[in-house]
Amino acid sequence: MHSRNRLILSSSVALGIAVTPASAETLDLGIAIPRLTVAEYHRPYVAIWLEQPGAAPRALSVWYDHDMKDNEGTKWLADVRQFWRAAGRSMKFPSDGVTGATRAPGDQKISFTAGTGPMPKLAPGEYTILVEAAREVGGREVVRLPFSWPPKPGIVRAAGTTELGAVSLSIKK
Amino acid sequence: MTSRISHRLALLAAGALMVATPALAHRQWMLPSATILSGDDAWVTVDAAVSNDLFYFDHQPMGTTGIRATAPDGSETKIENAATGRYRSTFDVHLLQKGTYRIENSSNGVMGSYKLGGEEKRLPRGTTSENLKDAIPAGATDVRTSEASNRNEIYVTVGAPTTTVFKPSGKGIELVPVTHPNDLVAGEAATFQFLLDGKPAANLGVTVIPGGNRYRGVLGQMDLKTDAQGKVSVTWPSAGMYWVNASVGGGREGGPPGGPGGPGAGAGAAPPAARPMPTGPQPRRANYVTTLEVLAP
């Protein structure tokens, strides 16, 4: 616990992000994984990451076959191409707090708290959360959720057309 | 018909000067199964061939004896499972390190002739600048030599791209990344610097051809020139595999106009006028080929 706090503090300073007293700001993501009627279906690999102009992208969560023997599921992480280029290729997998299991079709939810785990404290500015899904013997799609910090009221909504359904971001103070 | 004649002329010219690489008149290429890889136990398999259409192995295989793989830390890595068929060769490289590998098939040959006892003799195959002295017997006159550096190399990256394998050797044409060759995306511009014998190769012709031309009516070739720093910028029109060629002194594509290998050779233009063989040192000949993968955004 101690070491994790220290780690976040030092990286926050390095990124020039203001260290302000924590007010538990929660970012709730809704990600619809479409149910597809295809002969061979595999759950998609899904990557969620944060981008801000002028800062290194930050991986928030990656859903992949993390429990295969010899870490074999990482072989296909490069197929989540935009994520791989933005952040994945310089990471080690499994990644603590980021690695997750693949999820079934349906409405999936995941929440992040600014300043906790993979989500950094956020300085005022413009950000984008990106969600990319890549499916074995299927396609690949990226959906972007732009937002401001401090957050404006309302829900940010976007939608994919093939590998992702409705994707939303709501921020609670 | 003219194309066949000029093609034959190019072959003749190439035959007079070429050593290790059999057919400059066609396109040599290596096609990797992937250029960007993840995971802890990555392999790449490569097709290697010589053909006109890219990347269809329908003419001649590339020999595998000269193929070398260099790991991200600069050490040599063996190629495995090499096999040569009628039309193509194939081999694997086990990518045990993280970073960028170079897989190359390059040669530095010296070609030329001399006169001995009134008879003109060719330098034997396999002559290099190191063994040139031994290749020319005492009493030889009218020695004419020309060094040709042929480099065909591809790059593949496991994890984050690295640049150790781009450290120039100072021989022939070499690529120095401004944009890393394993970080190319359609619609984005990429810049590469080319060196000739270790120095920026200004005004060098660089030819870029997208693969898949068997099913296209137009070749889609881009003819580019390097600037004073040897740099050239390419904006990739679409995702896919691209063949890139740069050459000086008479390569097939990208060479100076009018030479046996300049633009137009083998492409239906009138064959260049035959010129008398000059005496003294021949112009520097160097050829560079790579295959680049451009990904969809």
Q: Which of B36, B40, B183 sits opposite A74 (nearest CB)?
A: B40
Cα B107 to Cα B16, B61, B255: the distances in Å are: 16, 17, 19
Nearest to B93 by CA among B30, B49, B50: B30
Q: Do A72 and B37 touch (CB under 8 A)?
A: no
Residue-range domain boundaries for chain B: 2-294
Q: How confident is the model at residue B25 (pLDDT cuts 50, 70, 90)?
A: low
Q: Residue B297: its chain A contacts at CB < 8 A?
A: 82
Q: Residue B39: its chain A contacts at CB < 8 A?
A: 71-72, 74-78
> Rounded CA gap, B252 and B15, in Å?
13
The pLDDT of A4-10, averaged and rounded, is 39
Q: Do B40 and A77 touch (CB under 8 A)?
A: no
Which of the 8 DSSP states describes residue A151?
A: P
Q: Residue B42: its chain A contacts at CB < 8 A?
A: 75
Classify burial at B222, counting beta carbons within 10 Å of its beta carbon; exposed 0-12, middle 13-18, buried 19 or more. middle
Confidence at residue A14, expressed as pLDDT on a 0 to 100 scale: 43
CB A129 within 8 A of CB A49: yes
Report which of residues B22 and B251 the model is more confident about. B251
Provide the pairing of β-strand B67-70 with B99-116.
antiparallel
Is B156 an 8 Å CB contact of chain A?
A: no
Q: Is a pLDDT exceeding 70 seen at residue A1?
A: no
Confidence at residue A170, expressed as pLDDT on a 0 to 100 scale: 96
Q: Do B296 and A81 touch (CB under 8 A)?
A: yes
The pLDDT of B20-32, averaged and rounded, is 72
Share of chain A above pLDDT 70, in %: 86
Q: Residue A72: its chain B contacts at CB < 8 A?
A: 39, 41
Confidence at residue A107, expressed as pLDDT on a 0 to 100 scale: 98
Candidates A62, A66, A75, partner chain B, best to mutate (most B CBs within 10 A):
A75
Average pLDDT, chain B: 85
Q: Write the ipTM.
A: 0.83
Confidence at residue B4, expressed as pLDDT on a 0 to 100 scale: 47
The pLDDT of A34-56, averaged and rounded, is 96
Say what the alpha-carbon torsion angle B158, B162, B167, B171 is, to the nearest 10 degrees: 40
Q: Do A89 and B40 touch (CB under 8 A)?
A: no
Distance, in angstroms, between A77 CA and closest chain B CA? 6
Is B240 an 8 Å CB contact of chain A?
A: no
The pLDDT of B28-54, averaged and rounded, is 97
Confidence at residue A10, expressed as pLDDT on a 0 to 100 scale: 39
> Rounded CA gap, B210 and B121, in Å?
42
Distance, in angstroms, between B96 CA and closest chain A CA? 13
Cβ neighbours of residue B272 closer than 8 Å, sequence gap 6 or more: B6, B9, B258, B259, B260, B262, B265
Phi-psi category of residue B22: left, alpha or beta, with phi > 0 → left and psi -120 to 50 → alpha: alpha
Tokens matching residue B86:
């009628």
Nearest to A130 by CA among A87, A79, A75: A87
Q: Is a pLDDT exceeding 90 seen at residue A84?
A: yes
Classify burial at B6, counting beta carbons within 10 Å of its beta carbon; exposed 0-12, middle 13-18, buried 19 or more. buried
Poorest-pLDDT segment among A3-12, B101-110, B113-122: A3-12
Confidence at residue B126, expressed as pLDDT on a 0 to 100 scale: 80
Q: Is a pLDDT exceeding 50 seen at residue B17?
A: no
Q: How confident is the model at residue A48 (pLDDT cuts 50, 70, 90)?
A: very high
> Rounded CA gap, B288 and B269, in Å?
23
The pLDDT of B169-181, averaged and rounded, is 97
Tokens matching residue A46:
């899904």
b/e sequence A53-64, b meaning 16+ C-beta within 10 Å: eeeebbbbbbbb
Q: Is a pLDDT exceeding 60 seen at residue A7?
A: no
Q: Is a pLDDT exceeding 50 seen at residue A75?
A: yes
Pairs of residues, one from chain A and one from chain B, whose beta carbons lie less than 8 Å apart: 42
Is B36 an 8 Å CB contact of chain A?
A: yes
